[in-house]
């Protein structure tokens, strides 16, 4: 009987995917729950990952002419009331500040005092407060386009939370633009979706489907919402970024007017677009395995960990000298717009040291002992390979090839994720088959099931609502590259002109 494979994470993905996800984050030391219900503490390994994502994405934004600014965390309730559909969409998630100080009550307890004249909402999104500033900054067509982004935190009070995926407070960016014409605003909406798709695919190695949301799934108050949808390893969808064409709705609510070249007065056409630390949750669920996180090299907090091996003080001195010189050589190399980041771990904790880095998902682990040093070689393990799959390389060859190895890992992760999506995406035309595919065999503890169903939809909200009610399955998007294809709605059987993507989702 063969030796049973042992994994670092328990339970495995197949045994209990939601709990596996929580244990992967814990083992990687990326984040933890905070004392404040529904919020998280992002630890250095996780925050450095976010900083790398921010750096790449911020550069992409600025390349399109966008400039960064910052707006207040607190939004007067009256601002939200100006846009009825918008406030209805967020009302149940709003945290509201009603007092401006604390006073000492009976028994020394602190109680709120000093009621505010007008309650303040802790920023759930900033369309209204930014719209107020835009109304002051825009008076002529010469002031347009106005292209602004802010990196900030937002609060959306969540009842059921999961680190990175859905927390009451999270980090994000939100872009807001104002334009003189609808065509220009529509073009910007599509442009920013392309930026998100490039970021998620090229840097996070997550293949996405670009599409349009249905009216029922649209951002509150938007005329049109574009999105990117990725498949996780449990075959559920994750919305990884959205870009909204707001028409003149928010401009009218915020009074963003400008004088045209013809000296008439019009309302501006606006957009908003955003993505968040939810991308980190998506990255984990796309690539991690039963041994922990796997970091795509282009955003990894560090690229290489050097693991010196020695038994005597003399060995230690010589090996550490060799390791320091190797680290210096690697740090001289640029990979994906930044120096190769090298960690040196000389802790004397045996095999647990290597497993720590496997669970953290660092792309390359390099072991160096007296024998390796004598041969001027290193012993290299890749995180996208099995943990026992390591090979010796001449030191010079490793230094020369390190960027190619990192890119090979990056590409391998993308192709593996793409294969998962392809294997779990199918055209479904029979209603019975559709329902069977999205129904778990064990209702008490659902197994991994379903995937992306490319099925026909007649366009009726009632059919969309029925499927959501019956199966908790939603239309993730209408793919932008979908070609016309006549068929029958998967719900009611009425004529349909195209297929849409149905899936369960986070």
- Give the model's pLDDT for residue 91: 84
Distances (CA, A) of 331 to 45, 124, 395: 19, 41, 14
Task: Show the tokens assigned to 458.
Answer: 């007649």
pLDDT reading at 12 higher than 50? yes
- Give the model's pLDDT for residue 4: 55
**Residues 169 and 153 sit within 8 Å (Cβ to Cβ):** yes
Cα separation, 481 vs 504, whole angstroms: 21
The CATH code of the domain that includes 152 is 3.30.930.10
In the numeric block, the tokens 């872009």 are attached to 175
The CATH code of the domain that includes 467 is 3.30.110.30
The domain boundary residue, chosen from 407, 441, 469 = 407
Domain check: are 334 and 260 in the same one? no
Domain check: are 204 and 252 in the same one? yes
Q: Would the pTM of this model clear 0.75, i.e. be above it?
A: yes
In the numeric block, the tokens 């991994």 are attached to 448
User: How confident is the prediction for the chain on average, in pLDDT?
Assistant: 96
- Give the model's pLDDT for residue 52: 98
Domain check: are 389 and 446 in the same one? no
pLDDT reading at 81 higher than 60? yes
Domain check: are 464 and 348 in the same one? no
The domain boundary residue, chosen from 382, 407, 432 = 407
DSSP one-letter code for 333: S
The CATH code of the domain that includes 348 is 3.40.50.800
Q: Would you say residue 116 lies in a domain? A: no
- Give the model's pLDDT for residue 503: 98
Choose among 256, 247, 252: nearest CA to 136: 256
Q: Which pLDDT tens digit goes with each residue over 401-447?
A: 999 999 999 999 999 999 999 999 999 999 999 999 999 999 999 99
Q: Which pLDDT tens digit goes with each residue over 14-44?
A: 999 999 999 999 999 999 999 999 999 999 9
Q: Would you say residue 112 lies in a domain? A: no
Task: Show the tokens assigned to 45.
Answer: 């390994």
Buried b (16+ CB within 10 A) or exposed e, 319-351: bbebbeebbebbeeeebbeeebbbbebeeeeee
Q: Would you say residue 12 lies in a domain? A: no
Domain check: are 384 and 442 in the same one? no
Q: Which pLDDT tens digit goes with each residue over 108-152?
A: 899 999 999 999 999 999 999 999 999 999 999 999 999 999 999
Distances (CA, A) of 458 to 34, 474, 493, 495, 499: 45, 14, 8, 6, 9
Q: Would you say residue 414 lies in a domain? A: no
> Where in the sequence is the domain holding 311, given as residue range(s)?
302-407
- DSSP run (H or E) holding 404: helix 395-423
How many structural domains comprise the chain? 3
With 0-12 / 13-18 / 19 or more C-beta atoms within 10 angstroms meaning exposed / middle / buried, residue 486 is exposed
62 Cβ neighbours under 8 A, 6+ residues apart = none
Q: Which pLDDT tens digit goes with each residue over 460-501?
A: 999 999 999 999 999 999 999 988 999 999 999 999 999 999
The domain boundary residue, chosen from 407, 438, 454 = 407
Query: Read out DSSP for 226-264?
Result: EEEEEE-TTS-EEEEEEEEEEETHHHHHHT-EEE-TTS-
């Amino acid at each position: 009987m063969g030796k049973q494979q042992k994994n670092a994470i328990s339970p495995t993905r197949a045994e209990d995917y939601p709990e596996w996800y929580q244990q992967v984050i814990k083992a990687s030391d990326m984040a933890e729950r905070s004392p404040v219900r529904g919020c998280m503490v992002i630890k250095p390994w996780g925050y450095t990952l976010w900083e790398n994502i921010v750096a790449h994405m911020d550069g992409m934004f600025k390349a399109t002419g966008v400039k960064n600014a910052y707006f207040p965390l607190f939004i007067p309730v009256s601002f939200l009331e100006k846009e009825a559909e918008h406030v209805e969409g967020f009302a149940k998630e709003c945290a509201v500040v009603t007092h401006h100080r604390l006073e000492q009550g009976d028994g020394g307890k602190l109680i709120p005092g000093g009621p505010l004249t007008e309650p303040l909402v802790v920023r759930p999104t900033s369309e209204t407060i930014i719209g107020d500033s835009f109304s002051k900054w825009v008076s002529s067509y010469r002031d347009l386009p106005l292209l602004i982004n802010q990196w900030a935190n937002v609060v959306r009070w969540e009842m059921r939370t999961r680190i990175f995926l859905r927390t009451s407070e999270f980090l994000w960016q939100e872009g807001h633009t104002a334009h003189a014409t609808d065509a220009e605003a529509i073009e910007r909406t599509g442009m920013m979706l392309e930026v998100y798709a490039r970021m998620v695919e090229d840097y996070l190695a997550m293949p996405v489907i670009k599409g349009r949301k249905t009216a029922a799934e649209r951002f509150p108050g938007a005329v049109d919402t574009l999105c990117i949808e990725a498949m996780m390893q449990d075959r559920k969808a994750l919305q990884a970024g959205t870009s909204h064409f707001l028409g003149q709705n928010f401009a009218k609510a915020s009074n963003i007017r400008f004088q045209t070249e013809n000296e008439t007065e019009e309302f501006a056409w606006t957009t908003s677009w955003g993505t968040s630390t939810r991308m980190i949750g998506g990255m984990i669920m796309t690539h991690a395995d039963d041994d922990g996180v796997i970091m795509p090299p282009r955003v990894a907090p560090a690229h290489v960990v050097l693991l010196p091996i020695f038994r005597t003080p003399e060995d230690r001195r010589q090996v550490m000298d060799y390791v320091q010189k190797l680290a210096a050589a690697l740090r001289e190399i640029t990979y994906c717009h930044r120096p190769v980041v090298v960690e040196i771990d000389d802790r004397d904790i045996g095999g647990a040291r290597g497993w720590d880095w496997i669970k953290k998902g660092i792309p390359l682990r390099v072991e160096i002992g007296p024998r390796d040093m004598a041969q001027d070689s290193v012993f290299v393990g890749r995180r996208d390979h099995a943990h026992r799959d390591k090979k010796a390389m001449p030191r010079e060859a490793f230094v020369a090839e390190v960027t190619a190895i990192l890119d090979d890992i990056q590409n391998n992760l993308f192709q593996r994720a793409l294969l998962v999506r392809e294997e779990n995406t199918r055209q479904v035309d029979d209603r019975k088959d559709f329902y069977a595919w999205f129904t778990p065999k064990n209702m008490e503890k659902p197994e991994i099931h379903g995937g992306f169903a490319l099925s026909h939809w007649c366009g009726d909200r009632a059919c969309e609502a029925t499927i959501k009610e019956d199966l908790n399955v939603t239309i993730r998007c209408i793919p932008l590259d979908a070609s016309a294809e006549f068929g029958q709605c998967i719900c009611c059987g009425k004529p349909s002109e195209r297929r849409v993507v149905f899936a369960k989702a986070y």
